[in-house]
Amino acid sequence: MAEHSGSAPVHVVILAAGKGTRMRSTLPKVLQPLAGRPMIRHLLACVQQLQPAQIHMVHGHGSEPLQAELAEQKIAWVLQPEQRGTGHALACAMPGIPDHASVLVLMADHPLVPLELLQSMLAAPHQLVLVSMQLTDPAGYGRIVRDDQGEFAAIVEQADASPQQLAISEVNSGIYRFPAAPLRDWLQQLAADNAAGEHYLTDVLAMAVAASQPPQLMQWPDAQSLLGANTQQQLATLERHYQRQQAELLQQQGVHLADPQRLDIRGRVSVGTDVSIDVNVILSGDCRLGDGVSIGPGCVLHDCHIGAKTRVLAHSVLEDVHCGAACSIGPFAHCRPGTRLDDAVKIGNFVETKQVSIGARSKASHLSYLGDANLGQRVNIGAGTITCNYDGVSKHVTSIADDVFIGSDTQLVAPVSIGPGAFIGAGSTITRDAPAAQLTLSRSAQKTIAGWQPPRPEPDHDTAAGQPGSKSSPQTQKEQD
Ligand code: UD1
Ligand code: CA
């Protein structure tokens, strides 16, 4: 457990019981995705780094999916049976918090709260800290009302604010640190005498002032990270902010981004030197890009390890791909899970791969499907080659040894093996193993039909014969082999 100011144990309370009506979605608000993950996961990942004595999650609306999503997390779940306001929600968590604790209260719909802010709140000498922010558009937030001396007086919610108060641009971020003992008392005194008919947590702050324990107001330079998401529009604003931060982090590591506004990171990315990423790329899961890797426009990579100097060309979609150095993938390649490429492999346009390992310097340059297959080194896969891996029930493996040449438009009906150095003639359907270093082909012999006539239209009684569009006459040709 981390030590903070004083020796008070830190208890984090996340308020997540609200319905999130303003999202207009069947998905609970805190499970709405931000950068590909439910927004609550961002906040949780942050507070876990504080190593608090306990994280209390107040839940109520949408409990089931929320608890299912966070099943593996160490959380003290607190049910708020009825959503009677943020003050009531926090009061529900208090029985699990000792009097000498320092209570860090967070709203679950503020997913990007910076760790450094929480750390400085806990390091502050003051036990009661409130984070405020200046917004050009304060709509929807509680306004910070100050007295004539400029000292904090109260928080007034939008619905209860006078026109004068509505003009205040300093707002409540919803992030607080409280000493547990007085907080417990104040919460018990809350009344629902306001526009919403709810127990407002914010009223506790005026009580603190009345008890001569005014909060320390803390501001944070990066106000964008403190914003909440009540609506889809606000969530999209947070998403863009998050993405800008991710792009900047990559740029700080030397990545060349064609346009930092047109890259989306939905996971973790690690990069070598001289990586370049073109526009409209999505990187998700765990992606590692080696030195000199370039990713073309419109590519989507999920859980990929891309070796040094590999080029992923435009509009390629890669999932669970591990590739060596100096490969070329795409344009328009679809590499599905289990694709393992050794060095200098080429996967060209309209090639689909799945559960396949391909040896160094092998090529599948055009229009192929390679699934459940093992390819050796220097293999050449002709255009239109298909591994027929599925018999309707089971998947079967195709093995292709080193230095094999597969002619275009070949079907390899698995299970089947092609020996080292074998040649397969174009247009073959290979159903049995092909021996090493020989030409194997299966092709019906070519035939030409002598005296063949193109179809003729039937004579039309009304107009001249031979007009296009009339029925063709029966054919009387003779086949010649
Ligand atoms: C709240 C603050 C407002 C602040 C803003 C910051 C109050 C009364 N107002 O307003 O001053 O500027 O956050 O975003 O606190 N929740 C519960 N149980 C409830 C009600 C809410 O758990 O009964 C949870 C919600 O799930 C949400 C959080 O508390 O995660 C905040 O509730 P919300 O309704 O979004 O409050 P705001 O109107 O945004
Ligand atoms: Ca809110």
226-259, pLDDT tens digit by residue? Answer: 999 999 999 999 999 999 999 999 999 999 999 9
**Same domain membership, residue 426 and residue 377:** yes
432 located within any domain: yes
Q: Give pLDDT, residue 5.
A: 52
Nearest by Cα to 471 from 461, 65, 479, 231:
461
End position of a domain, from candidates 178, 211, 226: 226
Nearest CA to ligand 1 atom 34: 18
Nearest CA to ligand 1 atom 22: 17
Strands (E) located in 36-169? 37-38, 54-59, 76-79, 102-107, 129-134, 143-146, 152-156
Q: How many domains does the chain have?
A: 2
241 located within any domain: no
**Same domain membership, residue 261 and residue 222:** no
| Distance from C-alpha of 406 to C-alpha of 366, rounded to nearest angstrom | 12
The 10s digit of each residue's pLDDT in 246-295 is 999 999 999 999 999 999 999 999 999 999 999 999 999 999 999 999 99
360 located within any domain: yes
- Cβ-based neighbours of 351, under 8 Å, separated by 6 or more: 333, 334, 364, 365, 366, 367, 368, 369, 370
Nearest CA to ligand 1 atom 16: 18
Nearest by Cα to 55 from 96, 100, 3, 6:
96
44 located within any domain: yes
User: Dihedral through CA 425, CA 426, CA 427, CA 433, nearest 10?
Assistant: 40
10 Å CB burial of residue 3 (0-12, 13-18, 19+) is: exposed
Q: Give pLDDT, residue 422.
A: 98
406 located within any domain: yes
**Same domain membership, residue 192 and residue 262:** no
Cβ atoms of 368 and 381 within 8 Å: the answer is yes
Quick one: average pLDDT of 4-22? Answer: 88
**Closest atom of ligand 1 relative to the 83 alpha carbon:** 23
**Same domain membership, residue 372 and residue 270:** yes
316 located within any domain: yes
**Same domain membership, residue 274 and residue 191:** no
Whether the pLDDT of residue 340 is over 50: the answer is yes
DSSP for 284-331?
Answer: EEEEEE-TT-EE-TT-EEES-EE-TT-EE-TT-EEESEEE-TT-EE-S
191 located within any domain: yes
**Same domain membership, residue 281 and residue 222:** no
Q: Give pLDDT, residue 4.
A: 53
Query: What CATH number is given to the structural domain containing 31?
Result: 3.90.550.10
Q: Give pLDDT, residue 7.
A: 78
Cβ atoms of 346 and 363 within 8 Å: the answer is yes
Whether the pLDDT of residue 399 is over 80: the answer is yes
Q: Give pLDDT, residue 479.
A: 45
Query: What CATH number is given to the structural domain containing 268?
Result: 2.160.10.10
End position of a domain, from candidates 175, 209, 226: 226
**Same domain membership, residue 164 and residue 263:** no
Ligand 1, from 42, 56, 107, 133: best to mutate by most atoms within 8 Å of Cβ?
Answer: 107
Q: Which domain holds residue 110?
A: 10-226
Whether the pLDDT of residue 468 is over 70: the answer is no
Cα 114 → chain centroid = 20
The 10s digit of each residue's pLDDT in 367-383 is 999 999 999 999 999 99
Quick one: average pLDDT of 423-451? Answer: 97
Nearest by Cα to 318 from 303, 296, 298, 297:
303
Q: Give pLDDT, residue 460.
A: 76
Q: What is the pTM of this model?
A: 0.90
> Over the chain, what is the mean pLDDT?
94
| Distance from C-alpha of 428 to C-alpha of 408, rounded to nearest angstrom | 8
The 10s digit of each residue's pLDDT in 17-56 is 998 999 999 999 999 999 999 999 999 999 999 999 999 9
386-388/143-146 β-pairing: unpaired
Q: Look-up: residue for tokens 């994280």?
A: 55
**Same domain membership, residue 278 and residue 219:** no
**Same domain membership, residue 270 and residue 202:** no
> Among 253-257, 361-365, 474-478, which is the least confidently predicted range?
474-478
**Same domain membership, residue 172 and residue 123:** yes
- Cβ-based neighbours of 189, under 8 Å, separated by 6 or more: 207
**Same domain membership, residue 65 and residue 214:** yes
92 located within any domain: yes
**Same domain membership, residue 63 and residue 187:** yes
Quick one: average pLDDT of 69-98? Answer: 97
Ligand 1, from 86, 90, 169, 217: best to mutate by most atoms within 8 Å of Cβ?
Answer: 86
